[in-house]
Amino acid sequence: MSRVGKKPVAVPSGVTATVDGQSVKMKGAKGELSFDVPAEVAVAFDDGSVSVTPRDQTKIARSKWGLSRAMIQSIADGVSKGFEKKLEITGVGYRAAVQGKVLKLSLGYSHDVDFEIPADIQITTPRPTEIVVTGVDKQRVGQIAAEIREWRPPEPYKGKGVRYAGEFIFRKEGKKK
């Protein structure tokens, strides 16, 4: 029995939710998102909350029950508050700057890396060594942050590179004589 799936998703104030068959749509101050619930799960909207129940007790239906509830909670949070990922840049001469719709990264290569900022994502650089990725869709924000990190992942000897804020990098010891 899914502990996550049992709880109904409360629709925050200022957000309008509609359930049309297997499709859940939410519209709020930050934007609009929708999620198509799998066929193994039934979804209902009543009293300002969205509830999800499995259609039968098969393993697949029970696994998609919790997933569907978590996805609906995610879109409710996204349209009301939004999501953000912070990245930190460590290394001498490594920095980032936003110029128009392009994120310019100096990461120790012979050239600057130009990263095109998608239309549904906002990227800011409060400091030259900090990048903040914000957006409505949780998956999209995480994917864009991962793509930026991929240009220079942190290395284990000196810790240089692009890392998530608060990420622990396991450090290795260098050569010994």
Amino acid 103: pLDDT:
94
Residue 23's CB is within 10 A of a number of other CB atoms, namely: 12
Give pTM, 2 decimals. 0.86
CATH number of 83-164: 3.90.930.12
**Residue 45 in contact with residue 19, Cβ under 8 Å?**
yes
Determine the pLDDT at residue 106.
Answer: 93
The domain segmentation of the chain, as residue ranges, is 3-80, 83-164
Strands 49-54 and 9-10: what pairing?
antiparallel
Instruction: Over range 46-65, report the average pLDDT.
Output: 88
Give the pLDDT score at 131: 95
Domain 3-80 falls in which CATH fold?
Outer Surface Protein A; domain 3 (3.90.930)
Same topology for domains 3-80 and 83-164, yes or no? yes
- What are the tens digits of pLDDT across the range 106-162? 999 999 999 999 999 999 999 999 999 999 999 999 999 999 999 999 999 998 999
